[in-house]
Homo-oligomer: A and B are copies of this chain.
Amino acid sequence: MQDYASEKDFLAAYNVHDYEVPLTSVDMAIFKLREQQLEVLLVKRSQHPSRDKWALPGGFIDLKKDRVLEDTAHRKLVEKTGVKSPYLEQVATFGGKQRDPRGWSVTVVYFALVAHEEVDVDPKGAKEETRWVPVTEALRDYKLAFDHNEILRLCRERLTSKVQYTALPIHLLPEEFTLTELQKVFEVILGNEVEKKSFRRRILDADILEESGAMRTGSNRPAKLYRLKRGVENHFFPRTIEGPRS
């Protein structure tokens, strides 16, 4: 390597393409809840490689438009779902020689939680065929492109484990919800029942919700509607939900 006198000289002579670089992209698992099932958004690839295979939505960083990595994820999410302010979290980064036939590649993986009610079924950016699939089905029956099965499995795992000690599932519901609705979401993700009283104590004592004032009515006792308190992004409990003792 040459020894440039100043950083300015160095940068003037610098060209990324002088080096062998991996292909770097962003992929994401977008989760929503529908009819008591956790679903993930899949996209049918319209281009090689793995054309016509189902894959997690993703794409390349737009070096002009995106200022930081999360912008890429956010841009993709809006393209696919129309949701503007989802819960977005970086999960992990996968990189290797074999995962993409084009060569050494790196993908930064995010997961997003969106409310079913807020998803635009036919957003502007939709150029490819998309489909919401129950996560268990996606993992069991689909051979996703690249290593996306493994990626999805990790995202699912991360979600399940965070549900045990955070209030994450709130982001799968619309702005206002009842405690029973929230409990159901926890139960769906955890895959087991949760004791009502413990659940309410836990959530209410955490002081992260406020009553909206309205009630959800039906042919029974109306339920209070709650919303996330302003400024509360997430909450960590000192203990995990343990589930039934039996």
Partner of A20, one of B10, B63, B108: B63
Known: A21-B21, A102-B16. A68 touches B95 (CB 8 A): yes
Q: Does A212 contact B (CB under 8 A)?
A: no
Which residues of the other chain, B, contact A92 by a CB distance below 8 angstroms? Answer: 90
Expressed in whole angstroms, the Cα–Cα distance for A49 and B108 within the complex equals 25
Of all chain B residues, the one with the shortest Cβ separation from A96 is B68
Would you call A106 and B104 a contact (CB within 8 A)? no
* Contact bitstring A40-69, B, C-beta under 8 A = 1, else 0: 000000011111000000001101001111
Number of interface residues of A (CB under 8 A): 46
Expressed in whole angstroms, the Cα–Cα distance for A47 and B49 within the complex equals 37
Interface of A is mostly: loop
Chain B nearest Cβ from A89, distance in angstroms:
10
Q: Does A140 contact B (CB under 8 A)?
A: no
Partner of A14, one of B68, B94, B102: B102
Can you list 21 A-B contacts (CB < 8 A)? A1-B47, A4-B48, A7-B50, A7-B101, A10-B47, A10-B49, A16-B103, A19-B60, A21-B23, A22-B63, A24-B106, A63-B103, A63-B104, A66-B97, A67-B97, A93-B93, A93-B108, A106-B106, A106-B108, A238-B240, A238-B242
